[in-house]
Structure 1
Amino acid sequence: MSRAGAGHLAPGSDPSVLPGPVLIADRDNNRVLVVDPQGRVRWQFPRKGDLAPGQKFPVPDDAFFSPDGRQIIVTEEDSQVVTVVDVARHRIVWRHGRLNKPGGGTSRLHHPDDAMMLRSGNVVVADIMNCRVLEMFPRSSGVLWHAGLPGTCVHNPPRQYGSPNGMFPLGNGHFLITEINGDWVDEIDQHGHVFWSTHPPGVTYPSDTNRYGPNAYLTVDYSDPGQVLLFDKSGKVLWRFRHGGARGLSKPSLALPLPNGDIILNDDANDRVIVVDPKKNRIVWQYGHKGAPGSGPGHLNNPDGLDLLPPHSYADSLH
């Protein structure tokens, strides 16, 4: 990945809070970017010529590195597909689902969200409108395992799930499932065991819950104003970042922990990616201009997904 140009960060940003570059799914600009801590774009897909004739790459919602860092798994939720991009070759190498054709069964998806690659090479995904979670096998495009009952989006794990929008692996064969309907978070395994379920307190639209630390879980409230919440499996609030007015978040969709304890998140409708220091309770790094969408240097347009460059990616945290 090459480094080019001057940095573009919001005033007051501290690049030292990040352990390395950030992968951003810049949804409404139809691109994914890697931005270094100084705010310089180091990699982008697609560039001119990256897409084969007839290929499209619309509205990438989420993007995560594969465990070896050689691929990026992109969820194009509103286009009904999951796409894998080869980082070095700048090429789409696999896609599951049919572009702009929602459906069910083993070959189609209906509003997939947060696809991630496991160390086995399999891909897991929450399939929101089909009320299910899946594990797929890219080499055959088959579905190895699924849970949920399409057409019945209610909280009744492990048989039924209420519009799941996140299926985050925990590295021990367990997954954290976030359910929009009823505002639930569940820890499950593939054998149908439910370890716990709870409501993130005071959250109206939970999104993409993942683990922050021992018995500490991180979620965001995809609302306006939005919030970031740390809670334990009993539902006790450990920390909350919520402000109104000019300091407020607008439809944040994903927050991830950083090695130093800070939290990086997409503030989607505010067109920025930020880092919050929970101890200082303030924003310490920002890429993008709040409320000013764009595609030029330093601008984003409804960024909806992020990850860190290996060895600090979400997949690396599963060791």
Structure 2
Amino acid sequence: MKTPSLGLVWAAVLCGAAACSTSVTAGPVKVTPEMQGAGIVSSGVTLPSPPLVTGNRKKPVASWGKPLPYPIVIADRRNNRLIEVAPDKRILWEFPSPNLKIYRGNEDVNFSMDGKTLAVSEEDNYDVHMVDYDSRTLIWTYGTPDESGKDEHHFNYPDDAHLLEDGKFLTADIRNCRVRIIDPKTDSVTTEWGKPGKCEHNPPHTLAWPNGATPLANGDILVSEISGAWISRITREGKVLWSVQAPGVHYPSDAFMTEDGQVIVADFVAPGQVVIFDPATKKVSWQYRVEKGDAMLTKPSLARELPDTHDIIVADDLRDRVVVIDRQTKKIIWQYGEIEKKGHTPGLLNYPDGFDLDVFRDWKSVSAPVSKKIP
């Protein structure tokens, strides 16, 4: 994809039936066996009691160091569950689906600012949620399960989920070509960028199939658009600070900022790649792309720079794993999940699509038996 003028063509080619569409549909959605995934499953592990929240994103708890400095909560999409894994691969916490009609296909997950709530999006269940971490209960849902639409209380493939500092919920509504901020207290949309049925790159007025909306430390929002591989930094008031095309990226997925102000983005293609570039110069400073073998990524949906170590963690969706890549050597130094081996028992995942770091709890001080040795 070289120019945004090819928007509709590339959207049809790259997005496919499962990600976006050149038209806005509405009404009941046919639920397929693929969307049901493995059903309601769990690892079967006896979970330890979570430690109290003692850290935050600015002042995290003590790091575990390499290869993974903090435990991660994974949106294990086709297992319909959230699962938290420690750097030593112990399963620390788990949230299986309480009901497949309401909760199915969780694909992005992020902690709230206080670490007590998880924001979750479900593209092909057409809703978003909030999960209370301590009680492991579903506490809020917005959207109508198995129904697409473009009115206030419907989505058409919602992607990305973040709870902002003021408690509002941020998500990208891909097929409606809009980004929305919702107030959970009133169940109302407070901010909307883009317009259903008008999928063109002209932020914030119109957006070309946005699939990422990431809040930054100062309150700005990083929006990624599939068509044209556009990444834009927009203030909460809707002012575009910059908008650039990610160099060499075909299908940008959930862009983040690195500690030094660059953009890191996963390229959701096969073979996949991770690119870090300077938005001011558009120059690539780091790239990971392997054409074949165990080191190859297949449609990675999320890449982030790890705090403390500055290595790169990636959700390698279609290879059923989450990996950590050494920044200097470009070698995979940590992995949870086995390559293209789907499962829900300890050590296995089924289409892991998103994750967030638990920098809030000192799990390192909590000992628990491992029910099964995980390689």
Q: TM-score over 0.5 for the alignment?
A: yes
Structure 2 counterpart of 1:161, from 207, 211, 219? 207
* Partner in structure 1 of residue 82 of structure 2: 32
Aligned 8 A contact 1:225 1:249 in 2: yes
The one-letter code of the counterpart of 1:248 is: M
TM-score in terms of structure 1 length? 0.90
Following the alignment from structure 2 to structure 1, what is the Cα–Cα distance between the partners of residues 130 and 239? 30
Secondary structure of the residue that 1:176 maps to in structure 2? Answer: strand
From the CA coordinates, give the structure whose radius of gyration is larger.
Answer: 2
> For 2:247, which of 201, 204, 208 is the aligned residue?
201
Q: Are the equivalent residues in 1 in contact too, given 2:262–2:277 (CA < 8 A)?
A: yes
Give the aligned length.
299
- 1:258 and 1:214 map into 2 onto residues whose CA distance is 12
Q: Deviation string for 1:63-102 (max 9, x for gaps)?
A: 1111111111111111000011111112110000000101
Instruction: Give the Å deviation of 1:196.
Output: 1.0
Distance 2:149 2:161 in 1: 17
- Name the structure 2 match of 1:287: 336
* Pairing partner for 1:210 from 243, 256, 259: 256
Cα contact 2:101–2:145 (8 A) shared by 1: no
Name which of 98, 122, 147 aligns with 1:76: 122
Is the contact made by 1:15 and 1:285 (CA closer than 8 Å) also made in structure 2?
no
CA distance in 2, matches of 1:41, 1:269: 22
Determine if contact 2:271/2:297 at 8 Å carries over to the other structure.
Answer: yes
- 2:110 corresponds, among 40, 60, 64, to 64
* Residue type at the aligned position of 1:22: I
Any runs of at least 4 consecutive aligned residues in structure 1 with deviations exceeding 3 A, and if so which?
none
Q: Which has the higher strand share?
A: 1
Deviation at 1:15, TM superposition (A): 7.3
Unaligned runs of 5+ in 2: 1-46, 51-63, 362-375
CA distance in 2, matches of 1:39, 1:3: 17
Indicate the residue corresponding to 1:316 in structure 2. none
1:267 counterpart residue number: 316
**Structure 1, gaps ≥5 residues long:** 5-13, 313-319
Shift of 1:60: 0.5
Aligned to 1:42: 92
Task: Give the Å deviation of 1:173.
Answer: 2.5
Determine helix, strand or coil for the equivalent of 2:66.
helix
One-letter amino acid matched to 1:90: R
- Whether 1:245 and 2:295 are equivalent positions in the alignment is no
TM normalised by structure 2 equals 0.77
Mapped to 1, the partners of 2:49 and 2:351 lie a distance apart of 24
Q: Which amino acid aligns with 2:139?
A: V
Partner SS, residue 110 of structure 2: strand
In the aligned structure 1, how far is the partner of 2:349 from the partner of 2:169?
27
Which of 170, 178, 193 is 1:132 aligned to? Answer: 178
**Hey, what's the Cα distance between the residues in 2 that align with 1:136 and 1:296?**
35
Please tell me whether residue 309 in structure 1 is matched to residue 355 in structure 2. Answer: no
* Alpha-carbon spacing, 1:223–1:182, altered in 2? closer, same or farther (3 Å): same
SS state at 1:245 partner: coil
Looking at structure 1, the residues matched to 133 and 101 of structure 2 have their Cα atoms a distance apart, in angstroms, of: 17
Alignment counterpart, residue 154 of structure 2, candidates 108, 115, 118? 108
- The separation in 1 between residues aligned to 2:188 and 2:127, in whole angstroms, is 14
Give the RMSD, CA atoms, in angstroms. Answer: 1.8
User: Is the contact made by 1:15 and 1:37 (CA closer than 8 Å) also made in structure 2?
Assistant: no
What secondary structure is seen at the aligned counterpart in 2 of 1:269?
A: helix
The SS at the match of 2:148 is coil
Question: 2: CA distance between counterparts of 1:170 and 1:15?
Answer: 24
Matched residues, percent identical? 41
Query: What does residue range 184-199 of structure 1 map to in structure 2 within 5 Å?
Result: 184-199=230-245
Matched position secondary structure for 1:119 = coil
Tell me the secondary structure at the aligned position of residue 74 of structure 2.
strand
Deviation at 1:168, TM superposition (A): 0.4
